[in-house]
Amino acid sequence: MQGLPTDFCKTLKSTYSTALAHGHLIYAGESAKSNSLNANINDSNYEFRLTVLESLQQRPEKGHVDLNPFDKPEPELTVVDTLGERDEFRIVLNKFPVVPAHFMLVTKSFKPQNSPLAPSELVATFMVLKKLACDADDDWFAFYNCGPSSGASQPHKHIQFMTLPQNHHPFAEKLAESNDHFIPSQKREALQDPNMPFAHFVARLPSEIDERLEEVLLLIFYALVQKVFDVLKNHDVDHISYNFCATTKYMMLVPRSNAKYEGTGINSCGFMGLVLCKDNKTAEQMKRCGFENVLAAIGFPNTSGENSNEYSY
């Protein structure tokens, strides 16, 4: 991809280290309290990682288009200033990172966060993921919070990239690995785990991504997003909100009904089994409810087993 340096992983980490050392970003990872928790649902085990990160209290809940940090990003947070076939993207560090080197792919010109991913944005996302896969030390995923109920904090379009905790395996990963690659259709539905009480749509990606990258990604993405639209339509929702999560191995979309659970914002990370809380009180509340129930409350009922009609794909 044009503009992505061959030593991108090295550049990313060095830019992050320098920005952290000089106070250009706020990260209190040393004070983070993380616990791995397991949920047993119908004799199946599911992994969740609960993290209390008090630095989240300093992060604005909602950005404003007139105070747009992506319009002229800080040079100290800029990793790649020009990216894409039409020079339409840049890569910048998150000023309030959840994990080290947490970064974003942002559009140079303003595009709304409530718009679906465009073909060039989808391809750019996976090309960055492919480059990150060369980093043997970490497992990366990308996510996009689309719409007012998705947990998005900035109105300017941005796709985020984070590392997964060591030995953490999201349920979508296990679901994808237990199936072969196919493009969802009426004949073969997008994957859903019937044990998860919320609607979610998963597709495994081909192991070898060649010159047909854009075509394959778009076919899968639009098949999944159509399933999201069906859920929203069936529940008479008048706006589009969903979470997009992806690795080099799979893609998942989750339709959203609420941005918050009991006052706590939850974005795509929650559906990767990563529950972030600003304080211990909120964390205890989440544990009492059960994480799968928290996610069900901000999504829609699981549609596994329901037949699609000809208009669903």
In the chain, domain spans: 9-60+69-297
9-60+69-297 adopts what CATH topology?
HIT family, subunit A (3.30.428)
* Position 92 pLDDT exceeds 70: yes
| Inter-residue contact 97 to 154 (CB < 8 Å) | no
Gap between the terminal Cα atoms of the chain: 30
Alpha-helical (H) ranges within the chain are: 8-21, 119-132, 171-177, 213-234, 280-289, 291-297
Residue 212, token pair as written in the block: 């047909």
According to the model, what pLDDT value does residue 313 have? 53
Write down the pTM of the prediction: 0.93
**Residue with tokens 């009609």, as numbered in its chain:** 309
Query: Rounded to whole angstroms, how far apart are CA atoms 287 and 291?
Result: 7
Residue 135 vs residue 57, higher pLDDT: 135
Q: Give residue 56's pLDDT.
A: 63
| CA dist., res. 295 & res. 56, Å (int) | 20
pLDDT value for 310: 54
Q: What gap in Å lies between CA 42 and CA 36, rounded to an integer? A: 20
Alpha helix (H) residue ranges in 22-106: none
Confidence of residue 78 (pLDDT cuts 50, 70, 90): very high
Owner of token pair 């503009």: 3
Long-range contacts of 137-141 (CB under 8 A, 24+ apart): 138/163, 138/164, 139/163, 139/164, 139/247, 140/164, 140/247, 141/245, 141/246, 141/247, 141/272
Q: Is 102 a catalytic residue?
A: no
Mean pLDDT value across residues 180-198: 94
Residue scoring higher pLDDT (63 or 272):
272
**Mean pLDDT lowest among 14-23, 205-214, 223-232, 282-291:** 205-214
Q: What are phi and psi of 294, to 5 degrees?
A: -60, -45
What crossing angle do the helices spanning 8-21 and 119-132 adopt, rounded to 10°? Answer: 90
| Residue with the two structure tokens 């639009």 | 222
**Residue 8, C-beta contacts closer than 8 angstroms, at least 6 positions apart:** 79, 80, 131, 132
Question: How confident is the model at residue 55, as a pLDDT?
Answer: 62
- Per-residue pLDDT, 276: 87
The SS3 of residue 34 is strand
Which band of pLDDT confidence, cut at 50, 70 and 90, is reported for residue 60? low
Options 22, 24, 64, 158, the catalytic residue: 158
Q: Provide the pairing of β-strand 44-52 with 274-277.
A: parallel
Query: Stretch 183-203: mean pLDDT, rounded?
Result: 95
* Residues 13, 68: Cα–Cα separation, whole Å: 25
How, if at all, do strands 33-41 and 201-204 pair?
Answer: unpaired
Distances (CA, A) of 56 to 26, 60, 233, 280, 308: 9, 8, 34, 13, 41
